[in-house]
Amino acid sequence: MAITGREGGRVKLVLVAAAALIDADGRVLIAERPAGKQLAGLWEFPGGKVEPGERPEDCLIRELAEELGITVKEACLAPLTFASHTYETFQLLMPLWICRRWEGLVQGREGQRLAWVRPGKLRDYPMPPADEPLIPALIDIVGAGRD
């Protein structure tokens, strides 16, 4: 049987930096992965792959500008938790930062749908399998939310 996520016994590690943006109402921003991309139609935390030689925090700041059109200062990023998930072709390692302060209006700059969701409602949105274990950490830090 093939060992998933491994090639010749070596794992292909993909490092992705992601953010949970939290608004004043305690809602979390998620974005729908566009058609044509891997895991299309699932709702994710904004972010992307760390490029060779790039600091994860710089990557996240870059991705938030590209995907959402906002400016985030590194001091406004707080580490929350991480996901480590074995996909069929790679091992995802995804640190998740929390961010409550940014400059600019959040917009889906790549045509992606966005949703502001109370942490207790995140399970109503289909997310990649790597993301499900992150939800309790968000509920702990933000609260599940009303209604």
Ligand X SMILES: Nc1nc2c([nH]c(=O)n2[C@H]2C[C@H](O)[C@@H](COP(=O)(O)OP(=O)(O)OP(=O)(O)O)O2)c(=O)[nH]1
Residues at the interface with ligand X (CB under 6 A): 16, 18, 37-39, 44-45, 47-49, 63, 92, 94, 128, 130-131
In the complex, minimum distance from the CB of residue 42 to ligand X, in angstroms, rounded to a whole number: 8
Q: Closest CB to Mg ion among 26 and 45?
A: 45
Alpha-carbon torsion, ordered 121, 49, 104, 120, to 10 deg? 10
| Closer CB to ligand X, 98 or 130, in the complex | 130
DSSP SS3 for 100: coil
- CB-CB neighbours of 88 under 10 Å: 7
Closer residue to ligand X (CB): 112 or 147: 112
Q: Which residue has the tokens 């940014």?
A: 102
131 binds, among Mg ion, ligand X, none (CB under 5 to 8 A by kind): ligand X
Q: How far is the CB of 28 from ligand X (least distance, A)?
A: 11
CB of 7 to ligand X, least distance (A): 16
At its nearest, how many Å lie between ligand X and the CB of residue 16? 4
Is 48 near Mg ion (CB under 5 A)?
yes
Amino acid, res. 113: R
> If you count DSSP H runs as helices and E runs as strands, how many of each does the chain have, helices first?
2, 9
Which of 73, 55, 64, 76 minimizes the C-alpha distance to 29?
64
From the list 111, 1, 20, 24, the residue with the least C-alpha distance to 60 is 20
Binding footprint of Mg ion on the chain (CB under 5 A): 48
